[in-house]
Structure 1
Amino acid sequence: MNKRLSLLATAVAAGLLLAQPAPAEARIPFFSNTQEIPTLAPMLEQTTPAVVHISVAGSREVRQRLPDAFRQFFGQRGQPEYREERPFKGLGSGVIIDADKGYIVTNNHVIQDATDIEVRLKDGRTFKATKLGADPETDIALLRIEAKKLTQIQLADSDKTRVGDFAVAIGNPFGLEQTVTSGIISALGRGGLGIEGFEDFIQTDAAINSGNSGGALVNLHGELIGINTAILGPNGGNIGIGFAIPANMMKNLVDQIIEHGEVRRGSLGIRGQDVTSDLTEAMHLNVSRGAFVNEVIADSAAAEGGLESGDVIISMNGNKISSFQELRAKVGTLGAGREAKFGILRDGKERTLTIKLKELSTTQVAASQMHPMLDGAELSNAEGGGVKIESVANNSAAAQIGLMPDDIIIGINRQRVTNLAELRKMLENREGVAALNIRRGNASLYVLIR
């Protein structure tokens, strides 16, 4: 049985002004004492009105191969294609996070390329929605509707979520509105899946299916802990492995969209890797998990904040860091200009550094924007021409095809590449296999992508 990662179509909303968990006395009980039979009904009666159904329509550009009968006009080289705009419709879910302002959070892939977005509430009312902004790299989008008497969801502190906590998924799988499933939190800090550019997923076994994207993952108090985004399963079906974007990450991104109209990515300015058993033995470390700092980039936030090569970052803002990819996701989504406290291990002693993040350079982009097989790499324009591989996440698609930090992409299919814009254009217009010409130190090699 083949397994594959599939994005879901769902939408979520979480109360922006309610970043802190509700007071204990205000929380909704997860069971009723009427007949002393445990039930989630009281909590769901208060929570489900905050989860909405989203339907979209628009058009997308698709590529089609020319029929064999027409290929004689193009000779024997390649497989000619043509492009055309095709209409599409889609369904998903969303969550109301601010009732007064009509803010609704969903996944970017739910509303991407849509020109018509309609939101239907639990009470049957429908409204046209306006897209305020989105971040494809984390798959978050913010919508707004003009409506009164809305219900917003309470926002939990997702950093306090633990493996084993009960979780409830609410959404519209396969268009079946207001569907509720339950399970537990199976894992935290999941990354390296190649779904998004920045991954720090909550994993759950609550049944999630196509149409749940953008929907709510809540705790037993009805507080939002995550936005349902993707599943691992054969043919897109549920096998009990679902992924949600943590509520805290979502709020950081939405706050930036509200304030700036876009996400201003935070940058620490280091190159590094996961702490492994080999690294632990070689460096005589007394930790088994964390983000090892290989290099601190000059004039970066890390350099100004006192980080040094050889440090191991073990926590950020009081929350444990298990991998370099988890650190990258938390830093990238926190936002430029924000301060963060990093717990580090240096020379066997723990220290705390407060560092103000800088903004990720606009010339440095996630390679997943270029091609799925480059996911996990960050690119920038190289001095003297070409595209530099700034970093490569462990176990990512880019790592698996053999890309390494400091590689320089100097050509594709024997055509020279001088900057990011040229690389993007060539990959967009490619047909079949693309051969990346890589300069690695004094050596030259080719890496194939399909």
Structure 2
Amino acid sequence: MKIVVIGCTHAGTAAILNSKKLYPDAEITVYERNDNISFLSCGIALHVGGVVKDPKGLFYSSPEKLAALGVNTKMLHDVLDIDTDNKKIKVCNLETNEEFEDTYDKLIVTTGSWPIIPRIEGIDLENILLSKNFYHLNTIIEKSKDAKNIVVVGAGYIGIELVEAFQMNGKNVTLIDMQERILAKYLDKEFTNVVEKAFLDRGVKLALGETVNKFMGKDGKVSKVVTNKGEYEADLVIICIGFKPNTALLKGQVEMLDNGAIIVDEYMRTSKEDVFAAGDCCSVIYNPTGEHRYIPLATNALRMGTLVAKNLVNPTTKYIGTQGTSGIKIYEYNIASTGLTEELAKEKGIDYRTVIVTDNYRPEFMPTYDSAVFKVVYERKSRRILGAQIISKADLTQSINTMSIVIQNKMTIDELAFVDFFFQPHFNKPWNLLNLAGLNAE
């Protein structure tokens, strides 16, 4: 069996390693246009902020490791075309510019995503950067050394973490987003208010509800960001407004969402026989609503890449879907969420209810105790839990992993009230925060 893998970050690496275990006699070739694999982009802000000292630790595999396993590892090779009818691909060696064809029995497409680059006047000025891969990390580190005024465009996870890192490095930081709140996709207002205040208290400028109209420059370098409401000085700008799937190679050949994300079934199969896909180039099954959605997360990519390998020859292991579970730490606050926020439930036209619990996470007789805010969104009629969020100075984020399982298994808010959780004063109260949410629900 001849297996060809296109792209090798999280999903690709997982697919290759597991395919090698399951099919030791298969011929596996991977084509990757970069010279590295398995880079954890979530570590960019950690390195910028000095938390991670050595960026080499942000790689968990390497071309050398794959080659040592017997994988035909083709770095700096760009796939130019895929012919799924004849099971052929056209490839360019980026070092020699040589073009050649290859064939496959099974094709695994793990081409990932790329930052959305808005078509705005001045976008090509120097010192306007993206934040996605290892090359971006190095450029951000180098350019930010001498920058005094840094503007981050985009208030999702990547943007928020970079704002914190730059502020802690003593920079004047402005955060711009067209939404009225930061992290609006992941958290409701009760939670984002806390983080916004933390930024404002540290001197970060929040330009929310503003749209960037143009970038102005001086001597070819960006000097100012102009929005529909104001102007902001900038020596350095980081664009992180979202991602789009890298799927142009398969356009018109397999089923896709409107944004180009490949639709795969529960066995990671595309609509074309013997063509599989996984990771940020794909849609996922979103359990709270049952729909296909685009949720680019490393966790989804690793699971999907592993499942591709398991289902490559025979459909054996189903993908059970995702809740879009994620977490973030900003200053002293530990935050996590899963499933639908109240705002998204409202957008979807769902008849929902919410319950919010604010309580100290462990007994007040302990030497220290911190307050936590926990929120659950549930369907009014069925009482089925659809989403949950938590914020606290104590790290209680693992409770959101529990809530992910709760949503996965379609539990109700009433069942949550009486789930068996342990009690130990070091960690919690006799009634766990999750229990309290169930007990306090309407």
TM surpasses 0.5: no
- Coarse TM-score class (shorter-chain normalised): under 0.3
TM-score (norm: length of structure 1): 0.23
TM-score (norm: length of structure 2): 0.23
- Which structure: greater strand fraction? 1
